[in-house]
Amino acid sequence: MSDSLHEFTDSNFDAEVVQSDQPVLVDFWAEWCGPCKMIGPVVEGESVELSVKQEGLVEIEPGVPVVKAPDDLTTGLVAYYPFNGNANDESGNGNNGEVNGATLAADRNGEFGKAYSFDGEDDRIVSVGSGWPGGDSDRTVSVWFKPISTANGNLFTFGDGTRNNTRFSLLLNHNEAGTITFVGQENDKKFDVENFVGAWSNIIISLKEDIGTLYINGTKVDDFGKSLNTDGSMPFGVGSQVAGA
C-alpha cells in the first residue's frame, strides 16, 4: 500500500474522511467485487486522467465518455425489498409483498429481521403490484440468497408460466444440482455454477437489447440471446420452494 493510501474503520472514518479539510477518495472494496478490482490500479496510484463533464459523462481518457452518472440510485427502480422486519417495497412504488409462511431471519451481516427463511415447500413472498417490466423491455434483478440444501426452486419469478417467452425467472438447481437456470418459458438458459450451500451469494441477471447477462458475486458468468414478451401484469414472487434465506 502506498503512503497516500489509508485504511478506514468505524473508529477513524468520521475524523479522517467526514471531517477532512481535503478531498478524500474512498474505495469501498470486497474480494468478490469485480468493479472494485477494475478500479484498483487507479486507487493504487497509476497515472490516469479523470474528469467529469457538465452533462454528467465520466471520462477516463479525454474525449471518451464511458459512463453517465444517474441522478440517484432510484432512477428506473420498480421495487426494493430490504426486509426491514417486513416485506414492504421501499422504492416508493407500493409493490409490497405478502408473506406466506416465510419467517424472519438474520441477513448476511448477521442482523436479525433483515432476511426471510423459507421451508423449501410452499413458503413464499408475493407482490400483486403492477408495473413489472413487460414485453422485451430492459430490466435487471439482484438477489441475495443463502440455500441450506441443493433442493430446487425459484429465486424469483414474474410473468406468465403458461405461455412461451412471457416469464422472467431464475431457478436454483432446476433438475440438476449446481446450476442456475434462467426461465423465459422457452429456450431457457442453464448455467453451471459453484455450490452455494451454506453461504450468502449475490446474483444479478439483466436483459438489455435481447441480450441476457448473469453475474454471481460481482463476476460475469455469461451472456445469452433472448427475446421476450414478458407479461408484466402477473405477480412477482420471491423464495417459493427454495430452502434457505
CA distance 234 to 167: 9
**Is there a catalytic annotation at residue 112?**
no
Compute, in degrees rounded to 10, the torsion defined by CA atoms 218, 222, 225, 230: -40
Residue with cell 479525454: 62
Residue (of 140, 132, 131, 130) closest to 209 by Cα position: 140
Residue with cell 449475490: 202
DSSP bridge pairs for 194? none
The answer to whether 42 and 50 are in contact (CB under 8 A) is yes
**Is there a catalytic annotation at residue 36?**
yes
Residue (of 69, 239, 71) closest to 171 by Cα position: 239
Residue 34 dihedral angles phi and psi, to the nearest 5°: -60, -50
CA distance 32 to 108: 14
* Catalytic position from the list 8, 36, 58, 144: 36
The answer to whether 142 and 203 are in contact (CB under 8 A) is yes
Q: Is 41 helix (H, G, I), strand (E, B) or coil?
A: helix
Please state whether beta strands 153-159 and 179-183 pair in parallel, antiparallel, or not at all (unpaired). unpaired
* Catalytic position from the list 7, 15, 27, 33: 33
DSSP state of 13: H
- Residues annotated catalytic, as ranges: 33, 36
